[in-house]
Chains A and B, each alone.
With several copies, the nearest count.
Chain A
């Protein structure tokens, strides 16, 4: 595989990853037969790092691996924008966060199974990026899926002392209540 192609793949993965990636992670991007040598991967990373100057994001090596981050001179502008935008958290987003908060530790598969949806990718990304959610460990089952839980920042941002202070879940509604509750927010 040509270096340019290795760079293309590695850059794509790093730009869309929600946590820093290590060399070992990057190797998983390739089939066994096409996997580049460690030296090639490092060369690709070096070249991607060097592209820094004129681009708004740059590759940075941190303790837990490589990640792209925003140029510092753009930080205040972008922050200003994100604060002005009232993030329109979707129902899916709220439900996912609620499931993690009340049912932690929970795997992504469990969330998907409960919600019946497989496309929570961007939601998990946002939750991890917000640092409201973190990986707490791995579940001891096939595939060792990550177990997600809420962070201290989540507690801070929601003005909670600890998880015990989450509002209690009202008792399960009776069937009658369920039939009459306005579940979809429509004008039933």
Chain B
């Protein structure tokens, strides 16, 4: 989404985030249904997941520390799912925040743990809040930074040419070819440096889990994760799993705290 962003200067989130068919879209629809095109326009207003989360949290005046996190989470996950269908580059970042929200949500639903968490360790919600708060000053200071008069934009240097200045060459001709080569190499390097990872979609993970659970009845969560898929894979499996629990296709089983978590097929029992 940053690719879209860079073509225009985006201000802070405007009071009217998007205009759809001439009508301002200034409220998040309560039923969560937004036509995909409108959603795209809407989400383009945001710089990233923190920004979107902040907006949701503030618009709803939801105290993230309370149980209302459920509502935000659902909304957030719904957006992320739609975003995924729109095949955006930045989905992984949103998914990571979604995973955090889900973790907060799951903790809220569980009874408090028997052991106290160490004091110096922030809970996920505290950590998320801290990140939001730490991010805000930078989001804000952009206005002031951008207001500074910039060379090439707001002003330019006066440098009246004075002729007859037979300056000796201060650049060796060799430097020129080096400069162009470095330039070409740098561009090429950066174009090739990043090897695009395979797209991992929630839907593909849903199907994968269903097929595994279907044949084996009971599968350990750990067996569904593949190290080579990294953080993105982990998050996607997690979301796919939650989705399947919601659709009552699987259930999660854990014998005791810290024991392995199993996914069990419950669809075939029906």
Contact = CB atoms under 8 A, between A and B. Distances in A.
Direct A–B contact in complex, judged by CB atoms less than 8 Å apart: yes
Given A69-B160, A115-B48, A121-B190, A92 B151 contact: no
A125 B186 CA distance: 9
A73 to B, nearest CB: 9
Contacts of A134: none
B60 to A, nearest CB: 9
A122 B136 contact: no
Nearest to A188: B58
A169 interface: yes
B136 A84 contact: no
Contacts, number: 309
A141 interface: no
Given A173-B188, A178-B133, A125 B159 contact: yes
Contacts of B165: 79, 82
B37 interface: no
Contact of B148 (A95, A120, A125, A160): A160
A185 to B, nearest CB: 6
B222 to A, nearest CB: 25
Interface in A142-187: 156-160, 166-175, 177-181, 183-187
A179 B133 CA distance: 10
Nearest to A117: B48
B215 interface: no
B177 A169 contact: yes
A94 B137 contact: no
Contacts of B121: none
Given A95-B180, A179-B58, A183-B189, A116 B13 contact: no
Given A83-B167, A118-B93, A95 B138 contact: yes
Interface stretch (A11-19, A23-31, A36-44): A11-19
Given A75-B162, A90-B9, A98-B138, A183 B182 contact: yes
Contact of A188 (B47, B59, B156): B59
A10 B268 CA distance: 83
A157 B151 contact: yes
Contacts of B152: 84, 87, 118-119, 121-122, 157
A78 B156 contact: yes
B218 to A, nearest CB: 36
A112 B90 CA distance: 12
A98 B9 CA distance: 15
A122 B192 contact: no
A21 to B, nearest CB: 11
Interface in A63-121: 67-72, 75, 78-79, 82-84, 86-95, 97-99, 101-102, 114-121
Given A91-B10, A169-B180, A160 B173 contact: yes
Contacts of B171: 89, 94, 97, 158
Interface in B37-74: 47-51, 54-55, 57-59, 61, 63
A97 B172 CA distance: 13
Nearest to A14: B158
B185 A181 contact: yes
B92 interface: yes
B176 A97 contact: yes
B93 A99 contact: no
Contact of B142 (A71, A94, A122, A130): A94
14 contacts: A79-B165, A94-B171, A99-B183, A102-B138, A102-B141, A114-B131, A116-B48, A123-B6, A158-B151, A159-B155, A167-B173, A178-B185, A178-B192, A188-B59
Interface of B: 2-3, 5-15, 47-51, 54-55, 57-59, 61, 63, 90, 92-93, 96-97, 129, 131-142, 144-165, 167-171, 173-177, 179-190, 192-194
Interface of A: 14-18, 20, 57, 67-72, 75, 78-79, 82-84, 86-95, 97-99, 101-102, 114-123, 125-126, 128-130, 156-160, 166-175, 177-181, 183-188
Closest 6 CB pairs of A and B: A117-B48, A167-B144, A119-B152, A98-B180, A94-B179, A116-B50
